[in-house]
Structure 1
Amino acid sequence: MDRISAMQAFVNVAHEGSFARAAERLQLSPQLVSKYVSQLEDHLGVRLLNRTTRKVSLTEAGQSYFQRASQLLIDLDDMENELGSLQRSARGTLRISAPVSFGIQHAAALITDFQKAYPDVQVDLNLNDRKVDIIEEGFDVALRIGQLKTSSLIARRVAPVQLVICASPQYLAEYGEPTSVEQLQDHRYLKYSYQESDIVLHTADGQQVQPQLNASLCANNGGLLADAAIQGAGFVIQPTFIVGKAIQQGLLKPLLPDYQLAPLALYAVYAHRQLLSNKVRCFIDFIDGYYGEPPYWDQADA
């Protein structure tokens, strides 16, 4: 059994959810792909995939093996690609999805600097706060902000993202400043509609408090919510890359400084890398560390 070919067949089937689509991607017959996966299961002595006439899904063992096999193939691919000149061969159109507010404020310099380094790469940047399906919608890379979750996609951590609760001095003068988590429920909350989970605040001694928040405005863009907060509409919970300047200028004031929100991060998310194009590989390597740690928007002299 060719173990590398068998691993490649399995990883592609797991990623595509279909023997036929995996076979098309690998330019093999579905029968050969199925044979490779069966040989791999026989070799390991465990079932990796649940197969029905309508669906292929990973077993628990398959999920574990998928993660390890993907990384092994990535390492092999990286080793072979290091022998070539990535910069000379990086070309074509790179389709990137990014959140709206982050893209408007922080993506222009990134794209400009990247294209200076790789002038043969054209960039098609789409700004959307919705979590796009990068494979179905044809994106090469998606920049996402949140907490890393198990996925068949690969995620490269780019920079930490800090959330802050804040409101305008105008709003606080009119409605009073909350001094406890419980008091937040009496205030107007400007909610981000793509928020992935409930807000949980952490104290210095490790306790967790989940406030009951009453949204007076819900929108799918953090920049709009920050602007509404500046106008005195209520308080927001937004990342510092959106509200940091307004806080520095005194337009917004941080609330409840004794509490912290769970840290998030900016990730570059992309499909499995066995056949990763050089334009994507170069972008992933380029963005790694680009914003700094802490990122420049959280630095005192920013």
Structure 2
Amino acid sequence: MFHKWNMTVFGDFDGLALFTRIVQAGGLAAAERATGIPKATLSRRLSVLENTLNVRLVRRTKKGVVLTEQGQQLFERSRAAFSLAEEAVAEVQDERAALSGNIRLSLPPDIATVLAPVLIRFGARHPDVTIEITLADRRVSLIEEGYDLVVRMGPVADSELIFRRIATLPRVLVASPRFLSAHPGLNEPQDVNEISALAIRRDLVEWDLRNDKGVTATIHPKIGFAANRQTILVDAAIAGLGIANLPFFLVEAALTSGALVRVLTGWEPSPVEMTALWQKDRFSGRLIKAIVTEFADALKDNRASR
């Protein structure tokens, strides 16, 4: 039930908004990276809010903040309210106002050559948007490291994040002509198990293949050379170090020039999904969605996603 008394007692809605940002980020340091507000200011505003409510909302620990029972209750109720407010604001903003602000992204280095030009064109059209790109092979944490948007290759397991598949990248098995001449008779998937292969890691490697008749096969190649950059694997394959299972867009030029050739023609590896992920309940939600749409549209006509 609504009470006028509550409105006269409480008026620190800015502090309440900052409280939800701190909880969403997982701590004061992460919230500072996500909002740009100094950690000392966030801590002070949180203390003021607690004093205003006369309730302890969080317990500060070395790893971040832990919600009290009252803090958890307040966060769950206020988060939904602020989400509705953000949506209402976004609806009344014009495009110029909505597509402004800061956006911090993490991209896999191997796909950056495809996505970075998209971001450059986007930045040129929207001068009020500040874009910061970080290239990372590892899976960064949006919340703990203060990213607004990340692009990942492979399966997605972050159930608390919003995500959208932006492309399906076909892969091919390739090797150098010299390597294949030294290893003749590669006709069936099981033949690959006995020769040197290349991958981003040496352990737990399996390749799922399918032929044009719908028959599937799984092989477990012996990895003789590993690197966590697929562009390095392209060079290693050209040098004759083994067979590689790589996205088509990375090896297209080498296939055209003859530096690499397809292995096991008639069998195709399973494609890899490219997915964009971002947090719920962020003021930059409309800007993020606009960039993700740009990624998807650009990749739709790009050979990388064919």
**Partner of residue 94 from structure 1, selected from 91, 103, 114:** 103
CA deviation after TM superposition for structure 1 residue 218, in Å? 0.8
**Partner of residue 248 from structure 1, selected from 256, 264, 284:** 256
Give deviations 1:111-135, integer Å, cap 9, x for gaps: 2111012112222211121111122
1:296 aligned to 2:303? Answer: yes
Per the alignment, residue 82 of structure 1 pairs with: 91
Per the alignment, residue 132 of structure 1 pairs with: 140
* Partner Cα distance (1:195, 1:14) in 2: 37
CA pair 74-296 structure 1, distance change in 2 beyond 3 A: farther
More displaced stretch, 223-232 vs 85-94: 85-94
Is the radius of gyration larger for structure 1 or structure 2? 2
Report the AA paired with residue 34 of structure 1.
Answer: Q
Give deviations 1:140-180, integer Å, cap 9, x for gaps: 11111113335211112111111111111121122225111
Which ranges of structure 1 fall in alignment gaps of 5 or more residues?
3-7, 40-68
* Partner Cα distance (1:177, 1:133) in 2: 45
CA pair 269-289 structure 1, distance change in 2 beyond 3 A: same
More displaced stretch, 283-292 vs 79-88: 79-88
**Partner of residue 228 from structure 1, selected from 222, 232, 236:** 236
Per the alignment, residue 116 of structure 1 pairs with: 124
CA deviation after TM superposition for structure 1 residue 80, in Å? 5.0
Query: Please, what is the CA RMSD of the aligned residues?
Result: 3.9
Per the alignment, residue 65 of structure 2 pairs with: none
TM-score (norm 1): 0.71
1:219 aligned to 2:257? Answer: no
More displaced stretch, 84-93 vs 149-158: 84-93
Identity of aligned residues (%): 22
Which ranges of structure 2 fall in alignment gaps of 5 or more residues?
3-16, 32-41, 51-56, 58-67
Give deviations 1:4-44, integer Å, cap 9, x for gaps: xxxx9xx99996679xx99x89x7763654335899xxxxx
Residues 142-153 of structure 1 aligned to structure 2 (within 5 Å): 142-149=150-157, 151-153=159-161
Report the AA paired with residue 228 of structure 2.
Answer: N
CA deviation after TM superposition for structure 1 residue 221, in Å? 0.4
Per the alignment, residue 279 of structure 2 pairs with: 271
* Partner Cα distance (1:217, 1:150) in 2: 30
Give deviations 1:90-118, integer Å, cap 9, x for gaps: 33432211111211x21331121110121
Report the AA paired with residue 303 of structure 2.
Answer: Y
CA pair 108-275 structure 1, distance change in 2 beyond 3 A: closer
Report the AA paired with residue 285 of structure 1.
Answer: T
CA pair 274-236 structure 1, distance change in 2 beyond 3 A: same
Per the alignment, residue 169 of structure 2 pairs with: 161
Q: Is residue 194–residue 220 contact of structure 1 (8 Å, CA) maintained in 2?
A: no
SS state at 1:256 partner: coil
Give deviations 1:186-244, integer Å, cap 9, x for gaps: 22101112998632223444443221210100111000001110111111111112112
Q: Is residue 197–residue 224 contact of structure 2 (8 Å, CA) maintained in 1?
A: yes
CA pair 205-74 structure 1, distance change in 2 beyond 3 A: farther
CA pair 218-74 structure 1, distance change in 2 beyond 3 A: farther
